Amino acid sequence: MSRPEPPSPASPTGSPAPAPIRVTCPHCGQPLDVIPVMAAQPPAGEPLPSQQASPVARLSRTVVRAVQRRLFPFSSTVEPAADTAPAAPPQRWGTITLIIAGIVLVGTLLMWWGHPITTPGATVPTPTVSSSNSTTTEAAILDTLTRYNRAESEAAARLSIEPLRPFIDPSGPFAQRRAAQLAERQQRNAPHRTVLVRWAVGQIAVAGTTATVVTQETWSNQEAGAVAPEQATVRVTYTLRWDATAGRWLIVDTSQIPL
C-alpha cells in the first residue's frame, strides 16, 4: 500500500523548486519522497546578524569619532561617510582593542587638559614674600623698657640718675624731669624702695625711628621709715627713638594716668 505524497511547498520567488529525495521510512519500510526545505533569505540590503555591530562597539566608535573631531576639526571634511557605508563585521578581538584604545585616548586627553602647557626651558616664577623686621623692632623696644624698669629700682635706692642714663634720651624731657625728681629727693635725703610688680604691654606703634608703646604697670613703693609698702597701678605711654650710636631705642618722654 502506497502512502500519498505530501504537497510540495511553494518555492521562493525566482528560485527553482528542489528535486525530491526518495528515502525509506524507518517505521513502516515504505519509500518516501522528501523535498528539502531551504531557509528563507533576508531581504535585499539588510545586513546579516553577524554583520551587526554590538552596542559597545558602536559606542566606542562614537567616542573615538567625537574625540577625533575635537582634536582635528577639519578631519570631518575628508573623512568618508562611515555611517552610510556598510560596516565590516568587527571581530571579537578587534572590538576589545577598539574599546581599550578609546579608554586610553580619553584618559590621556583628560590628563593633558588638567595640566598647564609649559614651554621647555621656562622657569616658573616663585612668589616673593616681603621681609619685615617688625618683630625684631618690637623686641628691641621691649628690651629697652625691661632694662629701664630694673634700673629704676636701683636709681630710687641710690637717688642717682646714673643707672637710667643708658636707656633714656639725655636731651629729652623725660631725662630732665627724672633728674629733677631725684635731685629733690637727695635734698630731703628720702631714698625709697620701688619694685615693678605687674607689667602688661599694649599697643606698639613704630613710624621710622620713632615708636610709641602703651603699658599698664603696678609698682610697689616703700618710703624710708614706712611700715609697709604701697601699690599703685598706672597706664604709661612711652615715646622712644632709635639711636644708631647707642644701638638701641631710648626713652624720650613718658606720660601716665593713675588707674
- The single-letter DSSP state of residue 72 is -
Cell numbers of 224, please?
A: 624710708
Q: Which contiguous run of DSSP H or E holds residue 177? A: helix 173-188
pLDDT tens-digit series, residues 94-140:
677 777 877 877 777 666 665 544 444 444 343 333 334 678 899 99
| Per-residue pLDDT band at 73 (split at 50, 70, 90) | low
- The answer, as to whether pTM is greater than 0.75, is no
Q: Is 182 left (phi over 0), alpha (psi -120 to 50) or beta?
A: alpha
Instruction: Check if the beta carbon of residue 82 is closer than 8 Å to that of residue 44.
Output: no
pLDDT 10s digits, 136-178: 899 999 999 999 999 999 999 899 999 999 999 999 999 999 9
What is the distance between the alpha carbons of residues 60 and 42, in angstroms, rounded to a whole number? Answer: 28
pLDDT on residue 105: 77
